[in-house]
Copies of this chain bind each other. A is one copy, B any other.
């Protein structure tokens, strides 16, 4: 069974690495795996949702027979997710959904398995390392669909984050149907980054077709469905569904309350100040912070900064969210109008060019600029790079001083990408436990009740959302009150829930 994990893979010959069998696994990697195992053990303590699911479903093995192709950041938390899926009976193959996000020690530990040896019962094949090239990334993504080692044709479930695994299947089927992968050089020829990556996707699929012209067609037919983690992935799924091109059912995990509200608000509340602190060591207290966007991310960001003694000003385009910000006691202003008094600018909008070059030029000397929203274009980094006379000085990794032609500087964190990931360690385990418990329940739901889910996009039933919350309460010492039958009848809800209408906003 070939594996791909090693931090050195990236810097040595990764292609050769891909053919290394697990039994050849080096001592150095075992010690890496051991370090990862430590962290997994600590993380398990912070992921009560997943551990409770192991306890509840371990005996009945509801995922017995499930073959899961996973594409999601290969972190310590994901290691706990993977091992939970295995504990429930599933076979799993895994890749990361981002070229930088893999924690190598976590990958190594999952490959080696909980027993700490490569002997049986061994771990799970992981195809990921920190710092992949785009070519490596898509080649590794392809590997999670190759189940010959497990004696199968392909997976019957996808667990996706951002939709790349789902994309590969859909594009694969499309090209297998048309009999050929299009020539990217014949395309629009724009030559931008997206096209560059798309060319790699096409190369990857061209190689697949060459090997087996019906491979993804067979895989798609076998697939019971996909569970999708993020806004972006969900967006793609709804688009496919709307165009009638969706090939199998999908569960939108992203919009569970215990996912979207929890990781956006509480995850950001934790990881935003963490990222700013690790990047700059600048006192947040007393400073003026501008938070662009007062959705869930912005709400968490504003609360965190206020909790550290900053004065927070909120920017919003949506009058409802703006009114919420005002009622929560924040000044609501346009960045243009307050730019000269701001010490820290944080974007969390999902929008583009929220912070323009003009804004950057208007800031105080050494103001801090960072993004916890979605893509790296919330801050106009391209515009900044193109600014004549600008100079970029690395203070330390992921922290750059941009010396502006006006004599002032700004500190940009993580090159405008997610600073809570780039300068800190992203969402903490407890938050991911809620997200991932939704994932596990969604996988179980699709696998065991597949007949209920014709092709389409679904959110998890509220009862499962409530279940995820329930699994995290006792770890916090929270005691739930139970309805009496009389009270349940009065409210017209079952004693055991669900308790709210679907449109309830929490």
Binding site for B on A (CB under 8 A): 38-39, 42, 45-46, 255, 257-258, 260-262, 265-266, 269-270, 273-274, 277-278, 280-288, 292, 303-304, 306-312, 315-335, 337, 341, 350-354, 365-366, 393, 395, 401, 411, 424-425, 428-431, 434, 465-467, 469-470, 472-473, 476-484, 486-487, 490-491, 497, 499-500, 502-503, 505-506
A307-B307, A308-B307, A424-B277 known; A487 vs B269 contact (CB < 8 Å)? no
A482 touches B317 (CB 8 A): yes
Which of A288, A312, A322 has most chain B Cβ within 10 Å?
A322
A308-B269, A479-B332, A487-B351 known; A327 vs B429 contact (CB < 8 Å)? no
In the bound complex, residues from chain B placing their C-beta under 8 Å from that of A318 are 466, 469, 497, 499-500
In the bound complex, residues from chain B placing their C-beta under 8 Å from that of A326 are 286, 311, 473, 476, 478
Q: Taking CB as reference atom, which chain B residue is nearest A500?
A: B318
A46 touches B490 (CB 8 A): no
A309-B266, A487-B353 known; A477 vs B315 contact (CB < 8 Å)? no
In the bound complex, residues from chain B placing their C-beta under 8 Å from that of A285 are 266, 269-270, 327, 329, 430
Closest CB in chain B relative to A212 CB, distance in Å: 37
Copies in the complex: 4
B353 touches A465 (CB 8 A): no
Please measure, in the bound complex, the distance between the C-alpha atom of A102 and the C-alpha atom of B472, giving whole angstroms: 43
Q: Taking CB as reference atom, which chain B residue is nearest A341?
A: B477
The 10 A-B residue pairs with the shortest CB-CB distance, nearest first, are A307-B307, A332-B478, A319-B469, A283-B428, A319-B470, A283-B430, A505-B505, A320-B469, A318-B499, A323-B469
B334 touches A395 (CB 8 A): no
Please measure, in the bound complex, the distance between the C-alpha atom of A281 and the C-alpha atom of B287, giving whole angstroms: 25
A38-B395, A282-B430, A352-B490 known; A480 vs B258 contact (CB < 8 Å)? no
Picked from B38, B322, B401, the residue with its CB within 8 Å of the CB of A478 is B322
B503 touches A255 (CB 8 A): yes
Please measure, in the bound complex, the distance between the C-alpha atom of A503 and the C-alpha atom of B292, giving whole angstroms: 22
B503 touches A465 (CB 8 A): no
A310 touches B329 (CB 8 A): yes
A327-B285, A469-B323 known; A480 vs B42 contact (CB < 8 Å)? no
Closest CB in chain B relative to A363 CB, distance in Å: 12
B506 touches A316 (CB 8 A): no
A327-B262, A334-B481, A337-B479 known; A351 vs B503 contact (CB < 8 Å)? no
27 A-B Cβ contacts within 8 A? A38-B393, A39-B395, A266-B327, A269-B308, A270-B277, A273-B274, A281-B425, A281-B428, A282-B429, A283-B428, A286-B323, A310-B329, A311-B329, A316-B481, A317-B480, A317-B481, A319-B497, A320-B466, A320-B500, A321-B506, A322-B469, A323-B478, A324-B506, A325-B478, A326-B473, A331-B477, A334-B480
In the bound complex, residues from chain B placing their C-beta under 8 Å from that of A332 are 473, 476-480
In the bound complex, residues from chain B placing their C-beta under 8 Å from that of A292 are 481
Please measure, in the bound complex, the distance between the C-alpha atom of A278 and the C-alpha atom of B497, giving whole angstroms: 38
Please measure, in the bound complex, the distance between the C-alpha atom of A89 and the C-alpha atom of B395, giving whole angstroms: 31
Please give 8 more A-B residue pairs, beta carbons under 8 A apart, in addition to A337-B479, A352-B490: A258-B320, A258-B323, A286-B329, A303-B307, A319-B470, A319-B480, A323-B478, A326-B476
Closest CB in chain B relative to A141 CB, distance in Å: 26
A270 touches B311 (CB 8 A): no
